[in-house]
Amino acid sequence: MRGHMGEEMRVLRAAERVAAPWSNGGGVTREIAAHPDGAGWDAFDWRISLADVTRDGPYSPLPGIRRILTVADGAGLHLTVDGTAHPPLPRHTPFAFPGAAATDSRLVSGPVVNLNVMTREGRAGADVRVVRGGCDLAAAPGRTMVVALPDGMGDGPGAPGGSAAVPGGAVVTSGGATAGLGCYDAVLLPGGAAARLRTDGVAAVITLVGEGAGDGER
């Protein structure tokens, strides 16, 4: 289905993503999408990615960035943000915090896969919710992304390359277009597009808002 400026629903396959190792060796990140396309760390309005986290350690400070972290697979995380220790963050529970905060992460029990949503303050914002079963996605001015997640019933984390202990999947229908998603595949809907989501497992629905949401204004 087309939205603003003739944009269409985009299917973003997990198998096509490139893994970027962290400089501290604690994991790798795979970018799902960013706006503007190809924008670096100092230029994006929003960025959505998956990260394999294999060991404890601090997060790099990101002033001016708002972060929403969701454990997509694995046992969970202990997060300490600006000296405040938070209860263990389980799977499928979005957690928002400022990127500038001094943040430390400890694994609850083994590696995890994190879904990371980052927005630049004053240019874009985001909301993340986790859906089981199905729901209607109402037309909105900003873009909407759906990411199929593992159903969380396995003992260990899946790999964002597409293989998981307990695979997840989803189907997104918008207008006359239908996209079938395997584990960690994603769909990016343009602003103004309504859709129907159906999943037998779990999916993250990310709503992007604000002038920098990328809904065809640039």
Burial of 80 (0-12, 13-18, 19+ CB in 10 A): middle
For the chain, domain boundaries: 4-209
| pLDDT tens track for 30-86 | 999 999 998 888 899 999 999 999 999 999 899 999 999 999 999 999 999 999 999
Angstrom distance (rounded) from CA 119 to CA 3? 22
pTM for the full predicted model: 0.89
Query: Which homologous superfamily does the CATH classification assign to the domain defined by 4-209?
Result: Jelly Rolls (2.60.120.10)
Q: Which pLDDT value is given to residue 164?
A: 40
Angstrom distance (rounded) from CA 215 to CA 78? 35
- Identify the bridge partners of residue 80 per DSSP, sorted by sequence position: 85, 104
| pLDDT tens track for 91-137 | 999 999 999 999 999 999 999 999 999 999 999 999 999 999 999 99
